[in-house]
Structures are given as structure tokens and as C-alpha cells.
Amino acid sequence: MRTENGRIIHLANYRRTDFVLERVDLTFELDPTETRVEARLIFHRREGADRAAPLVLDGDELSLSGLLLDQVEMEAGRYDATPDSLTIRDLPESEPFEITITTLINPEANTQLMGLYRTNGIYCTQCEAEGFRRITYFPDRPDVLAVYTVNIIADRQSCPLLLSNGNFLGGAGYGEEKHFAAWFDPHPKPSYLFALVAGDLGVIEDTFTTMSGREVTLKIYVEHGKEPRAAYAMDALKRSMRWDEEKFGREYDLDIFMIVAVSDFNMGAMENKGLNVFNDKYVLADPETATDQDYANIEAIIAHEYFHNWTGNRITCRDWFQLCLKEGLTVYRDHEFSADQRSRAVKRISEVRLLKSEQFPEDAGPLAHPVRPTKYREINNFYTTTIYEKGSEVTRMIATLVGRDTFRKGMDLYFERHDGEAVTIEDFVGCFETASGRDLSQFSLWYHQAGTPLVSVSTAHDAVNGVFTLSLEQMIPPTPGQSLKEPMHIPLRFGLLAEDGSEMTPAAVAGAEITGDVLHLTGRRQSITFSGVTARPVLSLNRDFSAPINLHFEQSSADLAHIARHDGDLFARWQALSDLALPSLVSAARDARNGKKVTPDPALADTLLALAGDETLEPAFRAQVLALPSEADIAREIGNDNDPDAIRAGREAVFADIAGRDTALFATLFARHRTEGPFAPDAGSAGRRALRNAALGYLAVAEGTPARAVAAFEAADNMTDLSAALTVLVHRFPDAPEAAAALEAFRARFTDNALVLDKWFAIQATVPGESALDRVRDLMENPHFTASNPNRVRALIGTFAFANPTGFNRADGAGYRFLAEQILAIDPKNPQLAARILTAMRSWRSLEGGRADHALNALRSITAAEKLSSDVSDIVDRMTKA
Ligand code: TRP
Ligand code: ZN
């Protein structure tokens, strides 16, 4: 465990290193419990550096077992070694000099999954952000770039495969039982991109010919027997490589690109140079075991990690405050990739759903932080949805502000100016300022001010003079450490809809800069007049979610329904529908809480059913239409004093009302959209399945019996339909014998497939209502549950806490106490995982008083624990700070 629990790192204290690292030579002698690592590091002093300064290297739980200076053993008095640092004094005048460090590490005992660890007999590394210092003493920071040679020595039998970054140099036998391999990565890189994998794995192989005609070998390594399930990932990889060439002019730069899938992994995947390591959940797929969502995730994450080769690896971050420089930008790139591969509007809807359900609550709670923070205690806790998703939205806004072609010019300039460097957000933004000639200093506040801006809108129409007036006011709520905010530059795509649904073109506009269909809101208050507008228009604002904001706009149900039915922008149609639904769901929750009968708004049901039944619209979009705002969406809309039981009861009443209004339509959708023939994971087929399964959810309620879900479960010939039917059955009829039987049949059929059993855990963890906790406790005793595997823990405990509002937020507080217990049990083994799951409680202050008290008590029980990791104590402290 870390010792420097309370230390805060400040951006303002950034300083370059005194020493420049020229070369790194690593030799690993792999052993399950005693791996020997020899690191030869060649340094010289930076020009202008204090020549007496000591060399200070980072470590984490290390012990030094050898230290040489220019191949001669160092005298004890010239250095200090502790588990977390190595300080060397009296370095020679002559340069460069070579330091050789030997450490002994224990991969088997590494349960944090940071540094070098073993998973299912495979040696593997995870170094971002600060894992390399768990392997050897090193200047473990992203602005130290060096060329690496890596030698791996291991048992020939158990480790036929020896992999590292870059290109393969050669290998041979080594004694009786061992062999070795050497790798050389010609591209200077920071230590967080180092990777080593060794073990016995199966492989699928392919090639890719780059735009300049070079042939690159592609390999995906998986456990033996799982090779066929890697085919879709390989296909996604090749499409990603082509797309990056076509859309950004980026070509791959080594002879080989490798992906390794492992089953114990803290996050989704890691972009190590030439050797990506993946959570196997984001590699393995076949129709029998993967849902359409799994396929989409694999495509997106394969692309994401591949795109990092340029945005992250060739150009990296100067320090970890700049994390969004690579993550926000790379998420934006993978979003654009998926939009090009699938339906752009539907992709955008799912992005915005995720942004609103994950990032908006983060930005509105105690963990809120700017996209470019200025301080942190534990960097692992900054791989947040704000850095990733809001970071992506900020990049998207730059593209919106400067226009598509200029955005590409700015990106070209970024690659040209900064290739091979470790840079900052200012460097990135500067490229778009040069390319566009625009001053982006006000825009840059998006990086520095936390909190979701609230834009209040009012409109007036003067029919006599043909003037439409739009008044906008922006307010950015206070967030931890930032009480006062400056007005930001907010790009709002908009349109004025005529009564027949066509787009109106005003004769003139005054009061704001307009570029194309983008209105630039820059003032705190702004009044914009459109002239030559004789008939009253319906304003469609923030089309495509051009800015990640909350809108306060009292638009009438009739106007929202008009947009939902007629807007030219499909995203805007979905957004108008959800804006129509939310007030209805909020008042239903209020009625339910007050014991009043809920009377749903018929305008909502009419519009929703009209869109769902509109055969001219793509099925995937209609499935999104049928997915009412979630319980968490409603809670966010209410804002405070939330009662999750009342929210659910109100939503259920609205859902049942819709289900009962046109059961025939749902039956038709269900019958018509069955996908026949061999399974295809393409977006069109996935959309049909999504629509059909959404209809099944309504039918189960309208019909009130499990029969149809049981039949769907029995007839399903792919995992999407199978798991959807099981979910409807178990969530709607949790106590029915059919539900128990289906769960058991599912378990028995997939007993050897841990990733599928994760779905089985997750479905049960999200059974609504207070009984879920007992189910979760029972499932923790199930032999399929492994407390040391992050996917298992996330599927059961994480899903329960994040995705079961009524189960987790039980009025008696038992859900919170359970989570606190689990956090304390996980923390000593895997602090990163514990801290991440704990963030499920980030919105506890918006709960009604009784629950909030229980939540705070549970958080305090964590604080009171004798020993906490810096990861968990950082989160719990921020969450409980006044
Ligand atoms: N850089 C990785 C990505 O976004 C994610 C990552 C950061 C990560 N830290 C990690 C993955 C720790 C695993 C473990 O693509
Ligand atoms: Zn990333």
C-alpha cells in the first residue's frame, strides 16, 4: 500500500527532469514469484540543470537488489533506496553515464494488477499511469521518452510466447529449460506505454497493407480454443487502421501490431506501443455468447486503442494533468469511427445517454473536476468520465466551431508540430487557433471550469414585424474549489421549424455570431433577433447535442412533439421526445410519492407510439424511442430530495400506460423484426433486434404473464435475444418459477464461459426492489463468483451499485452498508477497483434525508477503517467533504 497517502500533486509545480534518459535496456528473468529485472538506463544532465542535483527515481513496493554505475557496484553511501524511491548522489562529471538497477518482484502476489502480474498463468503488465515503478526504479513520468530494448528469459514449456513492444529482434534457447527473445522499439516512448506478455496463448493472424504499401503483421492472442472468437476484433482492427488513414492521414509505424486478451484486467484495454493488452471482454465475441452491445463495444475499444498510436503514443502527455489530451481526443476519434461504421444519429444518441447518465452526475457532485484538473491525490482516480466523455465533447465542439475541414487542418498541424513530443492542452488548442485564425481563449474555459453549464432560453415572436427573438442566459454551477465562473463559448446548432416541418431561413440575424447552423453563445446573457420570420417558428436548439449543457427551456408539449415528429436532425427528434417525457415522469414520481394516482400525459404516449410505428425510420432509432428516460435520468431531473422508490413507481405507471395503449403495435414490432438466417452483427440487424426486444418489454407488461418472454428465451438463437428475454423474464416476474428455471438453464448452458456468466450475475443484480441485496449476497457465495476477478466483481457488485436504483438505495440503508463492507474487502487487494466501484455513491447528497443519512454513515465507516489505500481514501474524502 502507498505510504504517501495525503500528498497532493499540483500542475503549477511541474518541472522538467534534471536528467535526460537516452536509452533503456531491460532484461526480465521471469519467475512466478521471483522475477529478476535488470534495467540499464543511460542518462545525461539536461542543459542548464544543477550539476550537483541527485538522480531521484520512482518506485512502488520495490526492493533493490543491485546497483551499478557504469558497470561498477555503487558504494552504499552514494544512494538511498526505499520501497518508493531511489536517490543517487555524486554522479560523475563525465556523461553520459549508465545506471544498472536490479530488482526482484513477485508477479503472482500482485493483486493490484498494476506493474507485472500473472493472470491465468500469463505474465502481463499494466503500466499506465504509474505501474512501471512497480517493476523497476525509473523516472516514471510521461515526459521522459526513451528508446527501449527488452530481453525476456523464461521457461520454454510454460512460456513459449515472449512479447514486448516494437519489432522482434530475435530469440534462441537459453540453457536447458529456458529460452529468450529480444524486442526493440525504435519509437521513443514514456514508461507507461511499456508492455511485456509471456505465456502460452493461441493466436489469429492477418496482415494489413498501409497507405504507403507497407505490409503489417497483425496478431491477436487469446487463450487456446478461443481463437475463433477473436475474428470480429481482427475485422474491427483492420477497419480502424483503414479509417485512420482515410480520415486523419495516419499510417501505422511498426512491422507488427499485436493485441493480447487477458481475463484479469482493471479497465477496458491499454494502448501499449505495438502491443495492446485487452480485457478479454472487449476481444472475444461470437453470436452464441456476445450481444450486439458487446460487438459494438469491441469495435469501439479496438479502434480506441489503435487510434492511441497517434493520439497518445506518437504525441503523448507532458504530465497527467493533460490526460484528456490523449483520452478526450481519442474518444472523439473512436466516436467518429463508430458513427461512420454504423448509424450516426443512433450512435450520437447512445453517446449522449452515456454522457448524461455518467458524466453529468459526476459534474454535479462532490467528484466534479475540470477536464484539465490542476491537482490530484491519486492519478488512478482521474480516469473519469469527465476526462474521457466530456473531453471528447470538448474536442467535438472545437470541430463544430472551426468547421470540419479546418478541424482536419488543425489535426494535421498537431501531428506535424508535435510528433515525438510530450505536450499540453495549450499546444493542442494552439494548432486550431493557427488553422482557423480564431481566438480560442474563451473556448478554453471548457478545459478549466468544471460543472455542466445551464443555458436558460426564452423566445418571443412579433408576427406584425416578422421578428423572432431568442434570449439566452448561461450559468455554470459552483463545483468543488470553483465557486465563481466566467461565461463560456458555447456552440449551439439550431434550426427554426415551420408549421409544416420545413426549415425556415430568416432574412437577417443580429445579436450573435452565426456560422452555418451554429449560433455562438459567448456572453452571460445574449438576445438574438431573427428578422423576416412572419410565422411563429418552433426552435430546435442544441441539435446533435452540439454542446454538453443542460437547457432550461419551457417549450410546450406541442412544440416538443412537433420537433419529435418533424426535425431534419434525427438526434433532435429523440431529444425532443425525451424532453417531452421527463416532466411527465417527474410529475408521476411526485404523484407516486404523495400516494396520488398517476395520470400520464397522452401527448407523450401518442408521440412515442407514432415514432415507434413509423416504418420510414430505422429500427435502431425506434428502439431508442421506446427506451424511456431511465430512473437515474428522472432522479437527475428532479435534482434533490430523491426517493428512488417513488421514481420507479411513477415511471412504471407511465410505462404501463404506454404498453396498454397500443399492444397491437408492440406485438407487430415483435413479430416483424425477428432476424432470420445466420447471425450478422451489423448495425442494421442489431437495430432490428433492439426494436424487437424493446417491444418485448412492453408486451410483458401489457400481457402480465411470463409466457411471451419464456417463449422468446426458448426460441432465441443468439445472445442478444437470449439475454434480452431473460432480462424481461427475471426483472418483470422475479418470483415466477419460469424465471428461476430460465436462470438455471442459462447458467448450466454457459457454465464454462465466465464472460457470459457475468451477464447472468448482472441480470440478477439489477432485479428491481429491495430483495436484490439478498440475491447479490447469495450470488457472492456462488462457485462461479471469483472475488479477485475485476469483471466478476463489476458484474455483480458494480452493477448492483451503479445500475439498480431501487435495490441499492433501499430505504433502510442496507445497500450502502453492503457496499462499504465490500469496498473494505476489495481495497487491500485491488485499490483501483475498490475506488472505482465506490464512486457509485457520488450522488448520495441528492437523496432524501433518510437515505442520505444512511449513505453518509456508510461512507464514514469506510473512513474509519484502519488502513485505506490512497485510491479509496481520496474518493471517500472528496465525497464526504462539506
Ligand atoms: N489508457 C487506457 C485507455 O483509455 C486506459 C487505462 C488507464 C488503463 N489506466 C489503466 C487500463 C489501468 C488498464 C489499467 O485506453
Ligand atoms: Zn484511451
- Indicate which CATH number applies to the domain containing 462: 2.60.40.1840
DSSP label at 796? Answer: I
CATH number at residue 844: 1.25.50.10
How distant, in Å, are the alpha carbons of 11, 168, 387 from that of 322?
9, 32, 9
234 and 218 in contact (C-beta within 8 Å)? yes
676 pLDDT band, cuts 50/70/90, is confident
Task: Indicate which atom in ligand 1 lies nearest the CA of residue 301.
Answer: 15
The DSSP string of 525-578 is EEEEEEES--SPPEEEESGGG-S--EEEE---HHHHHHHHHH-SSHHHHHHHHH
Task: Indicate which atom in ligand 1 lies nearest the CA of residue 308.
Answer: 15
Type of residue numbered 339: A
Sheet holding 467-475, edge to edge: 508-510, 525-531, 467-475, 454-462, 550-553
The whole-number average pLDDT for the span 266-272 is: 99
Query: Quick check: is 429 in a domain?
Result: yes
Q: How far is the CA of 70 from the centre of ligand 1 (A)?
A: 35
CATH number at residue 328: 1.10.390.10
CATH number at residue 58: 2.60.40.1730
Task: Indicate which atom in ligand 1 lies nearest the CA of residue 129.
Answer: 9
Beta bridge partners of residue 119, listed in sequence order:
122
385 and 500 within one domain: no
Q: Please name which of 405, 519, 523, 511 lies closest in space to residue 475, comparing C-alpha atoms.
A: 523
Per-residue cell: 322: 493533460
* Burial class of residue 551 (count of CB atoms within 10 Å of its CB; 0-12, 13-18, 19+): middle
Query: Quick check: is 337 in a domain?
Result: yes
699 and 666 in contact (C-beta within 8 Å)? yes
Task: Indicate which atom in ligand 1 lies nearest the CA of residue 327.
Answer: 4
Q: How far is the CA of 126 from the centre of ligand 1 (A)?
A: 8
Q: How far is the CA of 719 from the centre of ligand 2 (A)?
A: 28
Per-residue cell: 90: 555524486
429 and 477 within one domain: no
4 pLDDT band, cuts 50/70/90, is very low
Q: What is the pLDDT of residue 1?
A: 35
* Burial class of residue 71 (count of CB atoms within 10 Å of its CB; 0-12, 13-18, 19+): exposed
Q: What is the pLDDT of residue 5?
A: 59
Active site residue 305: yes
List the end-to-end C-alpha distance of the chain, in Å, as a whole number: 27
Asked whether 91 lines ligand 1 (CB < 6 A), one says: no
Which of 483, 516, 547 finishes a domain? 547
Q: What is the pLDDT of residue 414?
A: 99
Q: How far is the CA of 392 from the centre of ligand 2 (A)?
A: 11
- The C-alpha atoms of residue 181 and residue 14 are separated, in whole angstroms, by 38
Alpha-carbon Rg for the chain, nearest whole angstrom, is 28
Which numbered ligand comes closest to the C-alpha of 267? Answer: 1
Per-residue pLDDT for 824 more than 70? yes
273 pLDDT band, cuts 50/70/90, is very high
Q: Which of 112, 383, 392 to mutate to test the pocket of ligand 1 (most atoms within 8 A of CB)?
A: 383
Which numbered ligand comes closest to the C-alpha of 329? Answer: 2
- For 350-378, the pLDDT digits (tens) are 999 999 999 999 999 999 999 999 999 99
Asked whether 130 lines ligand 1 (CB < 6 A), one says: no
Q: Long-range contacts made by residues 792-797, C-beta under 8 angstroms, separation at least 24?
A: 792/754, 792/758, 792/761, 793/826, 793/833, 793/837, 794/758, 794/833, 794/837, 795/758, 795/759, 795/761, 795/762, 795/765, 796/761, 796/762, 796/765, 797/765, 797/822, 797/837
The whole-number average pLDDT for the span 614-636 is: 98
414 and 342 within one domain: yes
How distant, in Å, are the alpha carbons of 670, 700, 736, 767 from that of 733?
19, 9, 5, 9
Residue nearest to atom 10 of ligand 1 (CA): 128
Q: How far is the CA of 306 from the centre of ligand 2 (A)?
A: 9
Residue nearest to atom 1 of ligand 1 (CA): 270
| Run of H or E including 181 | strand 178-189
Query: Quick check: is 229 in a domain?
Result: no
- The dihedral over CA atoms of 571, 804, 393, 553, expressed in degrees to the nearest 10, equals 60
Per-residue pLDDT for 3 more than 60? no
Query: Quick check: is 809 in a domain?
Result: yes
Type of residue numbered 830: N
- The C-alpha atoms of residue 844 and residue 445 are separated, in whole angstroms, by 28
Which of 150, 169, 196 finishes a domain? 196
324 and 189 within one domain: no
Query: Quick check: is 633 in a domain?
Result: no
- For 405-457, the pLDDT digits (tens) are 999 999 999 999 999 999 999 999 999 999 999 999 999 999 999 999 999 99
196 and 28 in contact (C-beta within 8 Å)? yes
Chain mean pLDDT for the chain: 97
Q: How far is the CA of 864 from the centre of ligand 2 (A)?
A: 34
Type of residue numbered 678: P
Domain range for residue 340? Answer: 316-448
500 and 351 within one domain: no
- The C-alpha atoms of residue 777 and residue 716 are separated, in whole angstroms, by 30
Which numbered ligand comes closest to the C-alpha of 276? Answer: 1
Task: Indicate which atom in ligand 1 lies nearest the CA of residue 305.
Answer: 15
How distant, in Å, are the alpha carbons of 578, 644, 809 from that of 593?
22, 10, 16
Residue nearest to atom 7 of ligand 1 (CA): 128
- The C-alpha atoms of residue 450 and residue 484 are separated, in whole angstroms, by 11
Per-residue pLDDT for 6 more than 90? no
155 and 11 within one domain: yes
Q: How far is the CA of 13 from the centre of ligand 2 (A)?
A: 25
Task: Indicate which atom in ligand 1 lies nearest the CA of residue 128.
Answer: 9
- The C-alpha atoms of residue 765 and residue 159 are separated, in whole angstroms, by 38
880 and 855 in contact (C-beta within 8 Å)? no
Asked whether 270 lines ligand 1 (CB < 6 A), one says: yes
Q: What is the pLDDT of residue 408?
A: 98
Q: How far is the CA of 323 from the centre of ligand 2 (A)?
A: 9
Residue nearest to atom 5 of ligand 1 (CA): 270
- The C-alpha atoms of residue 637 and residue 645 are separated, in whole angstroms, by 15
- The C-alpha atoms of residue 421 and residue 432 are separated, in whole angstroms, by 18
Which numbered ligand comes closest to the C-alpha of 193? Answer: 1
Task: Indicate which atom in ligand 1 lies nearest the CA of residue 279.
Answer: 13
Query: Quick check: is 638 in a domain?
Result: no
Asked whether 269 lines ligand 1 (CB < 6 A), one says: yes
How distant, in Å, are the alpha carbons of 126, 222, 262, 586, 832 from that of 268?
12, 16, 11, 35, 13
Q: Please name which of 479, 473, 271 lies closest in space to residue 359, comparing C-alpha atoms.
A: 479
Residue nearest to atom 6 of ligand 1 (CA): 270
Asked whether 327 lines ligand 1 (CB < 6 A), one says: yes
864 and 817 within one domain: yes
Which numbered ligand comes closest to the C-alpha of 381? Answer: 1
Q: How far is the CA of 278 from the centre of ligand 1 (A)?
A: 10
Q: Which of 267, 323, 332 to mutate to test the pocket of ligand 1 (most atoms within 8 A of CB)?
A: 267
484 and 398 within one domain: no
* Burial class of residue 629 (count of CB atoms within 10 Å of its CB; 0-12, 13-18, 19+): buried
- The C-alpha atoms of residue 195 and residue 150 are separated, in whole angstroms, by 10
DSSP label at 281? Answer: G
438 and 429 in contact (C-beta within 8 Å)? no
| Contacts (Cβ under 8 Å, ≥6 apart) of 198 | 30, 122, 123, 152, 154, 159, 161, 162, 163
Q: Long-range contacts made by residues 45-50, C-beta under 8 angstroms, separation at least 24?
A: 45/18, 45/19, 45/20, 45/95, 46/16, 46/17, 46/18, 46/19, 46/20, 49/18, 49/19, 50/18
Type of residue numbered 404: R
Which numbered ligand comes closest to the C-alpha of 332? Answer: 2
Which of 196, 212, 233 finishes a domain? 196
Q: How far is the CA of 60 from the centre of ligand 1 (A)?
A: 19
Task: Indicate which atom in ligand 1 lies nearest the CA of residue 271.
Answer: 15
Q: How far is the CA of 193 from the centre of ligand 1 (A)?
A: 10
675 pLDDT band, cuts 50/70/90, is confident
Q: How far is the CA of 215 from the centre of ligand 1 (A)?
A: 28
Asked whether 126 lines ligand 1 (CB < 6 A), one says: yes
The whole-number average pLDDT for the span 62-76 is: 97
423 and 442 within one domain: yes
Per-residue pLDDT for 157 more than 90? yes
37 and 75 within one domain: yes
Residue nearest to atom 2 of ligand 1 (CA): 270
Query: Quick check: is 612 in a domain?
Result: no
Type of residue numbered 46: R
Asked whether 266 lines ligand 1 (CB < 6 A), one says: yes
Q: What is the pLDDT of residue 356?
A: 98
Q: Which of 134, 266, 278, 316 to mutate to test the pocket of ligand 1 (most atoms within 8 A of CB)?
A: 266
Per-residue pLDDT for 2 more than 60? no
Asked whether 267 lines ligand 1 (CB < 6 A), one says: yes
Among the listed residues 305, 378, 393, 631, the single catalytic one is: 305
489 and 399 within one domain: no
Residue nearest to atom 15 of ligand 1 (CA): 270
604 pLDDT band, cuts 50/70/90, is very high
Query: Quick check: is 338 in a domain?
Result: yes
Asked whether 305 lines ligand 1 (CB < 6 A), one says: yes
- The C-alpha atoms of residue 368 and residue 782 are separated, in whole angstroms, by 37
Q: How many domains in the chain?
A: 4
Q: How far is the CA of 798 from the centre of ligand 2 (A)?
A: 21
Task: Indicate which atom in ligand 1 lies nearest the CA of residue 126.
Answer: 14
* Burial class of residue 650 (count of CB atoms within 10 Å of its CB; 0-12, 13-18, 19+): buried
Pairing of strands 64-69, 55-58: unpaired
Per-residue cell: 490: 458555447
Which numbered ligand comes closest to the C-alpha of 327? Answer: 2
Task: Indicate which atom in ligand 1 lies nearest the CA of residue 269.
Answer: 11
394 and 440 in contact (C-beta within 8 Å)? no
Q: Which of 119, 125, 128 to mutate to test the pocket of ligand 1 (most atoms within 8 A of CB)?
A: 128
- The C-alpha atoms of residue 651 and residue 451 are separated, in whole angstroms, by 28
Asked whether 128 lines ligand 1 (CB < 6 A), one says: yes
Q: What is the pLDDT of residue 472?
A: 98
484 and 426 within one domain: no
Per-residue pLDDT for 175 more than 60? yes
